[in-house]
Structure 1
Amino acid sequence: MASPAWELQKAVYGALVADTGLAALLGGAWVYDEAPRGAAFPYVTFGPSAVRDWSAGTETASEHVFTLRVWSKHGGEREVHRILEAIRAALHDASLSLDGFRLVNLRHETSDTAREADGETHRGTARFRAVVEPIP
C-alpha cells in the first residue's frame, strides 16, 4: 500500500529541486532527506513530520505537518531568511501531483531561525501543513 506521507515528500522534493530561484540561493539543487557527509552549505533537509487521521464521515483523508530545515554557515541570518522565503514561495498553496493521492491543500504555517551551538551554523525551520486524500 502506498504511503501518503512518502508521496507528499517526493512531490515536495520535486517542487523544491525544480525551483530555479531556490537553486540559485543554494548554489544548486541541494535538498536532502539526509545530508551527505561534507555537504556544502547552504542546503535544505527534511525535518520531523507527523501524520494524523483527518477523515470525516465516509471520506478518508490525512493531515500532514512537516518541516524543512535550512542550514547555513554564512555570517548572520540573512541567507537563512532568504532561503526560507524561497521555500515558502515554492510550496505555499502549491498544486503538487501525488501518485495515488490528491493534495487538498498545502499551507506554510511558521518559520523560525536559530544559531546552532557551534556558533557558526545557522538553522532555519519552515513548517507546513497539508491535507491529502486517496484517489479512489
Structure 2
Amino acid sequence: MTSPANELMTAIQTRLTADAALVALIGPGGLSDRRVNRLDLPVVVVGSVETRDFSTATEAGAEIIFTLEAWSGEGRRAAEAIAEALCSLLDNTDLALSGRHLVSLRHRRTVSRREPKTTFFVAEASFRAVVE
C-alpha cells in the first residue's frame, strides 16, 4: 500500500486535470510536482507536504498538510485567480482514494507574493486533509 500522502496527491491531480476551467487557466501541462526552471507560466506546483499520525484507538489515520503553489508571470491577480480555482475544486470535496477513506479536505489559507529572484507572482494555497 502506498503512503496516504501519495494517494491523496494522485487523487488531487486527477481532480484538477479533469476540470476544464482550471486547464483553461493553466494549460494542459500546467500541473507539476516540482518547479522546473522554465518560463511557460502559469503553472500549479505541489509545494510542501507534511504527514502526521492521526490514528485513534481503533482506526489508523493520517493528517496531511500540503501547499499548492500557483505561479504566474501575469501578476498577483492571475496567481490568486488560479489559487481560488484550486480552492473551489478541493475545499470540502470528496475524493476517491485507493484503499483509504478521505475524512475531510479543507482549505486553510492562501498567501500571495512576488518572488524577488524571478519577479513572478506565486499564490500558495494551503490545505489540511484527514485520511483513514
TM interval, short-chain normalised: over 0.9
What residue is the counterpart of 1:108 in the other structure? 107
Over the matched positions of the two proteins, sequence identity in percent amounts to 39
Letter in 2 for 1:58: T
TM-score, normalised by the number of residues in structure 2: 0.93
What residue is the counterpart of 2:48 in the other structure? 48
Shift of 1:28: 2.6
Shift of 1:27: 2.8
Taking a change above 3 Å as real, the CA distance of residues 122 and 59 of structure 1, as seen in their structure-2 partners, is same
What residue is the counterpart of 2:20 in the other structure? 20
Taking a change above 3 Å as real, the CA distance of residues 88 and 94 of structure 1, as seen in their structure-2 partners, is same
Q: 8 Å contact 2:70–2:80 — kept in the other structure?
A: no
What residue is the counterpart of 2:9 in the other structure? 9
Shift of 1:39: 5.2
CA–CA distance in structure 1, aligned partners of residues 70 and 94 of structure 2: 23
Shift of 1:119: 5.6
Cα-Cα RMSD: 1.3
Q: Match of 2:95, SS?
A: coil
TM-score, normalised by the number of residues in structure 1: 0.91
Give unpaired runs (5+ residues) of structure 1: none
Shift of 1:23: 0.8
Q: 8 Å contact 1:65–1:130 — kept in the other structure?
A: yes
Q: Runs (4+) of structure 1 moved beyond 2 Å?
A: 35-39
Q: 8 Å contact 1:67–1:125 — kept in the other structure?
A: yes
Q: Does 1:57 pair with 2:29?
A: no
Q: Match of 2:80, SS?
A: helix
Q: Match of 1:101, SS?
A: coil
Give unpaired runs (5+ residues) of structure 2: none
